[in-house]
Amino acid sequence: MRRFILKRLGAIVINLWLLATIVFVVVNVLGGDIGRKVLGPTAKAEDVAAYNALIGTDKPMIQQYFTSIKNIFTLNFGNSYQSQSPVIDLVLPALGRSAKLAILAFIITIPISIAAGIFAARRQDKLADRVVVNVGLGSSSIPEFVTAAVLLALFAVHFKVGKVYANPPAGTSIFGQLEYLLLPAMAMVISYFGYIARMTRAGVITALHADYTRTATMKGLPPGQVMRKHILRNALAPTITVISVQIGYLFGGIVGVEKVFNYAGLGTTMLNAVGKQDIPVLQASVLIVGIIYMASTLLADLLIAYLNPRVRLDAGS
């Protein structure tokens, strides 16, 4: 297990380096004058040149690249080109806000979709099952930002339930924050519900028809115990994998939702950084999403091994 974890951590470092390189290349391929972007169209050429010298964007590309990689591995992300504030001061609060939204979305999504999946599996091919499957298919086919826009127009603007600006003012209580975050969270819930519910349903159906379930039932175990100890334990392994992977997707999909609700999370930060070619902020944001994605898949592997003792992570290594 330890060897597996070390190997995965090593792979994460290599992946992060690749990610940082890709971001650097892509942003610089886009071209453009960073100083001009920051200072605006009316700034004088000499001011633009001075600004580029200040932030180092007048240096040769290869020098900028090595500086940027070195900064990442020394956890020194530098200052934002745009605001001149330390990147970490911009990215960490944004990450906190995105995490808050993502956690709320997960807290709502997971129990609802797992319950719906089990409910449907136990009524396989009946009306309830068809409803869950088709609603799930439909909801997961709609992009998060479309759902978000519909929720915003319908609830926040028309019915005045929920908020257009999802950023809660400083000092808002936890329950107060729910009012701000509920609509964007629901946009993600609607998108992720179907996938998780259908995975749960499929896993539960497989487990329901498995030999071990039949054996457990014939041994005379109570149905609740069969469900908990035999069906769910086996059926939820692929669901947990899906959920873990969804964490990574969630931080990607959140970009559109944050944009619609003007939520100052990591997605908005990334989007603004792209528009302004704020490379330090973009690099830090993308790396954070990358770390979350890789960490969540590693966590999924570990959880699967824990839930299913037949899985040996070191096997074949």
Partner 1 sequence: MNRSQLRRLKREVGPLENELIDAYAAGGVSRRNFLVRGSVLGLSVATMGSLISACGGDDDTASPDGTSAPDATSAPDATSAPDATDAPAPPAGEIQQGGTLRIASQRPGSPLDPVAMDNIGSYTPVVQSFEYLCGKGEGAALAPMLAESWSPNDDGSVWTFKLRAGVKWHKGGDFTSADVVAALGRLAGANLSASITPDSVKAIDDLTVEVNLINADGQFPYLVSPYNPQASMTPADYELGTLFDQRPDGTGAFILDTYDIATGATYKPNKDWWGGVPYLDGLEILFSDDNATQINGLLGDQADAVIQFAVSDADALFNNDQVTVESIRGAGHRQIWFNVREGTFSGENGAKIREAVALGIDRQALIDQVLQGRGDIGNDHPIAPVYEFWDSSQPQIERDVERAKALLDEAGVPGLAITMHAPDLQEIPLLAEFVQSQLKDIGMDITLNVESTATFYDRWCKVYDSTTPPAGCDGGEEFGIVDYGNRGTPDRYLVAAYATGEWNSAHYLSEEFNAAVKAYQATVDLPSRKEAIKPVQQIAHDDRPYVIPYFYNTLTAYKKNVQGIISTGLGHYYCGKAGFTA
Residue 179 touching partner 1 (CB under 8 A): no
Q: Is 264 in the site for partner 1 (CB under 8 A)?
A: yes
Q: How far apart are CA 121 and CA 224, in angstroms?
A: 15
- The distance of Cα 204 from the centroid of its chain, to the nearest Å, equals 26
Whose Cβ is closer to partner 1: residue 6's or residue 157's?
157
In the complex, minimum distance from the CB of residue 260 to partner 1, in angstroms, rounded to a whole number: 8
Q: Which is nearer to partner 1, 163 or 230 (CB)?
A: 163
Among 15, 16, 37, 59, binds partner 1 (CB under 8 A): 37
**Of 93 and 143, which CB lies nearer to partner 1 in the complex structure?**
93
Binding mask 88-127 for partner 1 (x = CB under 8 A): --x--xx---------------------------------
Q: How far is the CB of 212 from partner 1 (least distance, A)?
A: 52
Name which of 153 and 311 has its Cβ closer to partner 1: 153
Residue 223 as a binder of partner 1 (CB under 8 A): the answer is: no
* Per-residue binder mask for partner 1 (CB under 8 A), 152-171, x = binder: xx--xx--x--xxx-x-xx-
Closer by beta carbon to partner 1, 89 or else 125: 89
Closest CB 236 distance from partner 1, rounded Å: 37
Q: Which is nearer to partner 1, 277 or 296 (CB)?
A: 277
Q: How far is the CB of 47 from partner 1 (least distance, A)?
A: 7
Q: From the list 12, 16, 39, 92, which residue makes contact with partner 1 (rule: CB under 8 A)?
A: 39
Q: Which one of residues 52, 191, 244, 272 is an interface residue with partner 1 (CB under 8 A)? A: 272
Tell me the C-alpha distance between 218 and 232, whole Å: 18
What tokens appear for 244 in the block? 């873990």
Binding site for partner 1 (CB under 8 A): 32-33, 36-43, 45, 47-48, 82-84, 90, 93-94, 152-153, 156-157, 160, 163-165, 167, 169-170, 262, 264, 268-269, 272, 275-276
